[in-house]
Structure 1
Amino acid sequence: MNKNRDLLKGWIGTFMRSKWYPGVFTWPAMIIFGVIIYQTLWGPNSAHDNFGSAMTWVLWWPIIPIVFILLGRFWCAVCPFATISDFVQKYFGANLPVPRFLRKYGIWIIDALFILITWADHVYGIVGSPRGSGYLLMLLFTGVVVTGIFFERRAWCRHLCFLGGLSGNYSRAGMLELRATPDKCKTCTTQSCYKGGEQAPGCPMFEFPKTMDTSAQCNLCGYCVKNCPNDSITLKTRKPTKELWNIRKPHLQEAFLAIIIMGIVFVQNITMLDIWPTMLTALEGFTGTTSYYVNFTIAFMIAMSLPVLIMLIPAAIASKAVQEGIWKNLARFGYAIIPLDLAGHIAHNLFHLLAEGLAIVYTGLAMFGIEIEGSPAILDTAVIQVMQYGLVVLGTVASIYAVYRIAKSSYPEGTSTNKLVIPYAVIMVFLGIINFVLFYLPMAHRM
């Protein structure tokens, strides 16, 4: 596919401008979401037998990062929570401006929520319990409704949704790029892409296509495509991770989220290894208590802190080379870890998708009284491991290349990029080796 070709010039553009988009995806997603809610709250108590649990944690969670790579934040355009937010806002919303506090610190709140939900999952067994999954979904549902009642547009999606934060980071490495054409926007007086028009509302994510230089907040809802009177909007393919190379204004809170995601991947892997009980026993001996809350929290804090501390090492070295602050340097190069995040995330969940994927079929048929017993595996574990190793290697190489390109684009010619690239490259290799080892060890099944 020609990367310079505007995809909106063909049938994709016709489809996105039609009344069917994105509704043709949104309403099936709503129906499935309803089934998942019902199953997790009132279906079988065992995750092994629950269709809602299988759909959420064996299918949806593993494929969502793949969607972010291929289609950017497309999921956010069809997400049931976004549809609920729009409905609540339309009929009950006060449409108040988003408070400055949320606009300024929303990403930090997202960081905290992501960490809290991950911690709560392991302490209270949310993923392993259909009821726990249902309660989590209803908690998020409540947040969406409350936010929709008070604030304009999709304030929840932009400033509070932990998945929105994840999708924003991952979409920076995605293969699709929606942008406006500056020359055409110069003479535009309607600004209907942002404000809305007869065809569709304004941008739900508070983005102005004319000045948009990132895919982090574009959910490909198509509203700007429908509203633009000048045919200014384009949709093109690009090289994966390309956006990471030229971020104009790096933000520490975004880079920090990218770094702690690596810690979350570590936690998800370690707690599913066969050796985790042994590690927990050793930790109990060190702390002198058998309280799982205490011991897991300590292990969790270590796993969260480790990538941050590790990334501070090259930041300190590189900052001296270019005479800038450590945190500024970390903000600039922290985005480079996103490809490795993606690789680790996909590799971990690839095990659940391919080693437990048939559980979706079994639990789905069980809802209609058809009981089937058998292995849930789609592929052999050894085959899955080879795929995981390949993903980790690819992610490590992509992160190292991102470091190189960031260094080249961020500093003037003549700057010794080796002093910037080598420290970060060594750390990326080190993090890649940790992931490689974790995927080498036997992993327990979720279903």
Structure 2
Amino acid sequence: MGAAQARRRAPSCEAGPVTATSARPARDLLSHRGIAAFVRSRWYPTVFQVPVAAVFGLVAYELLLGPSGAHDNAGTALMWVLWWPLVPLTFLLLGRFWCAVCPFATLSDLVQKAVGLNRPVPRFLKVYGIWVIDAAFLAITWADHVWGVVGSPWGSGVLLLLLTTAVVVSGAFFQRRTFCRYLCFLGGLSGNYSRAGMLQLRADPDVCATCTARAACYNGTATTPPCPLFSFPRQLDSMANCNLCASCVKSCPNDAITITVRPPARELWLVGRARLEESFLAMAIMGIVLIQNVTMLSVWQDALDWIERTTGITSYPVIFTAAFLVAVSLPVLLLTVAAWVAAPESRESVRQNFARFGYALIPLDVAAHVAHNLFHLLAEGKAVVFTLGGLIGSPAGGSTAVVGQATISVLQYALLAAGLGLSVLTGHRISVNRHGAGSIARSVAAPTLVLVLAFGALNAVLFALPMAHRM
């Protein structure tokens, strides 16, 4: 092997101080000849994009032209019972890889090639894009409950049409995948979750320092497209904006790119520039998961009846909007309080503490989100088989459960425990990396850790209660 390959084995640079956890270099997956050949071939990621696009076409057709009832619609089953529960799990295992094979991303590329004006990304999106994503994610979640998007094939189809329109407009006007980076609500979610992911792409800084290829990894070459998410591998210290499309791997002439496996949530310990909007999204997601759980419990109907009796309010949109605002605001408010309590000891502002320690909640976010959706996948998973069978003239019926409730509960609590442990560890490591190992770090981390434990306990209580099905 050459000198460049030898240099690739050096530990990659991360933002933040070097700790014992980063002293041991990880194994580069691209050092495996078969993996490297596949990733560098023209088949990657096309071999995944084609079947995903075909399934997406079936889903869109069924949602818009198929049976009007969600129970009988294959598009609803594929989208909300199968895909939506599995996609956050892919963020943990594979980072933003879904964004590399997403049909919307492929559509954006096609539109850009056909009629793209390739204008620069507006400064507004660069500065405030994540806030737009935050707002879109909240709006879509709210709309689902108020207008029943998930339970309506037509509603889900309209959502896809709106997203498709946004993708086409973005691809026609702006460079690369502007929509995916700065506007897609799922891109924002995957960006947050992929920070806790187990795959890491980095460039060897020593090799890059002597590179004369004029940033081919970022700008692309005659045969390889540029980085779709505007990430420069040499400066990459987070997987939030890397979709593992491997364009940089293919275009780098120096073999300087590595893809390694890392411990879950490790990136969160070493976060460099903590961003308020990303921590806000983490807290908002926690509130969304909580309200999603509550509205699928029998106690929710009891609460609606009580509100009607005591206030006379019968409008569900009004009641849910109030509950939704409380659910989303409460985690934000509690983290603000935790940041305020930690401020004197940390000698940093409430804003700085909020931005930094919000990342500690991301592992618990992922765990609670996956655990919630795991119920729908395992309690309703056979609906996918039943509805697909109906498309080929072999309808079937019966229980939609894949496994029993006891098994689902065990898996949910195992996920929740893992997420809780990683969030506690992350909060501790963030504080230690900032303030050193000692009493100050423990004091600064303590308010956030109490908050993590409280949210973990609340989710545990909600998962113990019977939950309604989607279909």
TM over 0.5, shorter chain:
yes
The equivalent residue for 1:326 is 350
The equivalent residue for 1:8 is 30
The equivalent residue for 1:344 is 368
Q: Which amino acid aligns with 2:413?
A: Y
The Cα shift of 1:382 comes to 1.8
1:55 to 2:111 alignment: no
Pick aligned residue for 2:160 from 122, 131, 137: 137
Q: Which amino acid aligns with 1:441?
A: L
Task: Please identify, of 72-81 and 8-17, the stretch whose mean Cα deviation from structure 2 is larger.
Answer: 8-17
CA deviation profile, 1:382-414 (whole Å, cap 9, x unmatched) = 210121112112211110110000001122566
The Cα shift of 1:130 comes to 0.6
Secondary structure, aligned partner of 2:259: strand
Secondary structure, aligned partner of 2:109: helix
The equivalent residue for 1:441 is 465
- Contact 1:113 / 1:162 at 8 angstroms: preserved in 2? yes
Once residues 395 and 442 of structure 1 are traced to their aligned partners in structure 2, the CA distance between those partners, rounded to angstroms, is 22
The Cα shift of 1:147 comes to 0.4
Task: Please identify, of 49-58 and 386-395, the stretch whose mean Cα deviation from structure 2 is larger.
Answer: 386-395
Map residues 400-439 of structure 1 onto 2, 5 A cutoff: 400-412=424-436, 416-439=440-463
The equivalent residue for 1:83 is 106
CA deviation profile, 1:418-437 (whole Å, cap 9, x unmatched) = 21122111111110011001
Q: Which amino acid aligns with 1:308?
A: V
Once residues 39 and 287 of structure 2 are traced to their aligned partners in structure 1, the CA distance between those partners, rounded to angstroms, is 38
Q: Which amino acid aligns with 1:9?
A: S
- Contact 1:3 / 1:237 at 8 angstroms: preserved in 2? no
Task: Please identify, of 160-169 and 310-319, the stretch whose mean Cα deviation from structure 2 is larger.
Answer: 310-319
Task: Determine what percentage of the aligned residue pairs are the same residue.
Answer: 55
Secondary structure, aligned partner of 2:440: coil
Map residues 194-209 of structure 1 onto 2, 5 A cutoff: 194-209=218-233
Map residues 328-407 of structure 1 onto 2, 5 A cutoff: 328-407=352-431
The equivalent residue for 2:255 is 231
Pick aligned residue for 2:326 from 289, 302, 309: 302
Pick aligned residue for 1:189 from 190, 194, 212: 212
Pick aligned residue for 2:56 from 23, 33, 40: 33
The equivalent residue for 1:102 is 125
Once residues 287 and 30 of structure 1 are traced to their aligned partners in structure 2, the CA distance between those partners, rounded to angstroms, is 49
Q: Which amino acid aligns with 1:369?
A: G
The equivalent residue for 1:261 is 285
Q: Which amino acid aligns with 2:66?
A: G
Secondary structure, aligned partner of 1:431: helix
Secondary structure, aligned partner of 1:178: strand
- Contact 1:287 / 1:295 at 8 angstroms: preserved in 2? no
Once residues 348 and 394 of structure 2 are traced to their aligned partners in structure 1, the CA distance between those partners, rounded to angstroms, is 64
The equivalent residue for 1:288 is 312
Secondary structure, aligned partner of 2:469: coil
- Contact 1:314 / 1:427 at 8 angstroms: preserved in 2? yes
Once residues 29 and 118 of structure 1 are traced to their aligned partners in structure 2, the CA distance between those partners, rounded to angstroms, is 24
- Contact 1:4 / 1:237 at 8 angstroms: preserved in 2? yes
1:69 to 2:89 alignment: no
Once residues 121 and 171 of structure 1 are traced to their aligned partners in structure 2, the CA distance between those partners, rounded to angstroms, is 25
Once residues 108 and 165 of structure 1 are traced to their aligned partners in structure 2, the CA distance between those partners, rounded to angstroms, is 10
Once residues 358 and 44 of structure 1 are traced to their aligned partners in structure 2, the CA distance between those partners, rounded to angstroms, is 18
Q: Which amino acid aligns with 1:24?
A: V
Once residues 204 and 312 of structure 1 are traced to their aligned partners in structure 2, the CA distance between those partners, rounded to angstroms, is 35
Once residues 3 and 194 of structure 1 are traced to their aligned partners in structure 2, the CA distance between those partners, rounded to angstroms, is 25
1:42 to 2:65 alignment: yes
Once residues 427 and 76 of structure 1 are traced to their aligned partners in structure 2, the CA distance between those partners, rounded to angstroms, is 32
Secondary structure, aligned partner of 1:177: strand
Task: Please identify, of 88-97 and 422-431, the stretch whose mean Cα deviation from structure 2 is larger.
Answer: 422-431
**CA 1:302 to 1:286, structure 2 compared with 1: closer, same or farther past 3 Å?**
farther
Once residues 82 and 89 of structure 1 are traced to their aligned partners in structure 2, the CA distance between those partners, rounded to angstroms, is 11
**CA 1:61 to 1:3, structure 2 compared with 1: closer, same or farther past 3 Å?**
farther
Once residues 281 and 344 of structure 2 are traced to their aligned partners in structure 1, the CA distance between those partners, rounded to angstroms, is 24
Once residues 432 and 368 of structure 2 are traced to their aligned partners in structure 1, the CA distance between those partners, rounded to angstroms, is 26
The Cα shift of 1:285 comes to 3.7
The equivalent residue for 2:7 is none
Map residues 209-224 of structure 1 onto 2, 5 A cutoff: 209-224=233-248
Once residues 360 and 430 of structure 2 are traced to their aligned partners in structure 1, the CA distance between those partners, rounded to angstroms, is 8
Task: Please identify, of 311-320 and 432-441, the stretch whose mean Cα deviation from structure 2 is larger.
Answer: 311-320
The Cα shift of 1:373 comes to 1.0
Once residues 277 and 400 of structure 2 are traced to their aligned partners in structure 1, the CA distance between those partners, rounded to angstroms, is 40
Once residues 249 and 441 of structure 1 are traced to their aligned partners in structure 2, the CA distance between those partners, rounded to angstroms, is 39
CA deviation profile, 1:5-62 (whole Å, cap 9, x unmatched) = 1101211111010010000000111111000000000101111111000001111110
- Contact 1:284 / 1:295 at 8 angstroms: preserved in 2? no
- Contact 1:82 / 1:154 at 8 angstroms: preserved in 2? yes
Once residues 337 and 312 of structure 2 are traced to their aligned partners in structure 1, the CA distance between those partners, rounded to angstroms, is 32
Secondary structure, aligned partner of 1:220: coil
The Cα shift of 1:288 comes to 2.9
CA deviation profile, 1:195-249 (whole Å, cap 9, x unmatched) = 1113311100000001111000000001001100000000000010000001110
The Cα shift of 1:3 comes to 6.8
**CA 1:188 to 1:422, structure 2 compared with 1: closer, same or farther past 3 Å?**
same
TM-score by length of 1: 0.98
Secondary structure, aligned partner of 1:284: helix
Once residues 256 and 234 of structure 2 are traced to their aligned partners in structure 1, the CA distance between those partners, rounded to angstroms, is 9
- Contact 1:107 / 1:165 at 8 angstroms: preserved in 2? yes
- Number of aligned residue pairs: 446
- Contact 1:315 / 1:327 at 8 angstroms: preserved in 2? yes
Once residues 64 and 176 of structure 2 are traced to their aligned partners in structure 1, the CA distance between those partners, rounded to angstroms, is 29
Q: Which runs of 4+ in 1 moved over 4 A?
A: 412-415
Task: Please identify, of 120-129 and 264-273, the stretch whose mean Cα deviation from structure 2 is larger.
Answer: 264-273
Once residues 3 and 58 of structure 1 are traced to their aligned partners in structure 2, the CA distance between those partners, rounded to angstroms, is 39
CA deviation profile, 1:331-353 (whole Å, cap 9, x unmatched) = 00000000000110000000010
